[in-house]
Amino acid sequence: MTGGEVAGILVAVFWAILVSFLAVALARLAQTLRATTKLVADVTEQAVPLLAEASATVRSAQTQLDRVDAIASDVQEVTSNASALSTTVASTFGGPLVKVAAFGYGVRRALGRSRDGEGAPSASARRTVIVGRTVPSMRRRKQKG
C-alpha cells in the first residue's frame, strides 16, 4: 500500500467516526425534543384548567368587591342621613329644651328660697370644696380661725 492509499483510508475512517458521532448526537437531540414536547403538552393540559379557575376566582372576587362597595356607599348615605337628623333635632329641640331646663332650675331655686324664708341659702347649708371633698362651713371656720 502506498502512502496515498493509507491517507485515503484514514480520511474515510475519520469521516465514518464523525458521521457516527453526529448520528448519536442527532438521536439524543430527537429524544430531548420528544420529551420537551410531551412536557409542554402536559403543562398545557394542567395550566388551562388552572387558568380557568383563576379567572373564575377573579370574577367572583370582583363581584364581592362590588357588593362591598355598594354596602360602603349605603353606610355612608345612612351616616350622612343620621348626621342631618341629629343636626335637625338639635336645632329644633335644643334651644327650647335649654330654656325649659333653665326655667325649671329657676323655679326650684325660687321654691327653695321661699321655704327657707331668706333670699340666700343659710350659712349651714353652704359647703366649700377643698382638695376634692366637701367640708361644712362650720369646719371651714375652725380651719381658718
pLDDT per residue, tens digit, the chain (145 aa), is: 787 888 888 899 999 999 999 999 999 999 999 999 999 999 989 998 899 999 999 999 999 999 999 999 999 999 999 999 988 888 887 788 888 888 889 888 888 876 655 555 555 555 555 555 555 555 555 555 5
* pTM for the whole structure: 0.41
- With contact defined as beta carbons under 8 Å apart, do 124 and 136 qualify? yes
Q: What does the DSSP assignment read for 42-110?
A: HHHHHHHHHHHHHHHHHHHHHHHHHHHHHHHHHHHHHHHHHHHHHHHHHHHHHHHHHHHHHHHHHHHHH
Cell numbers for 39: 412536557
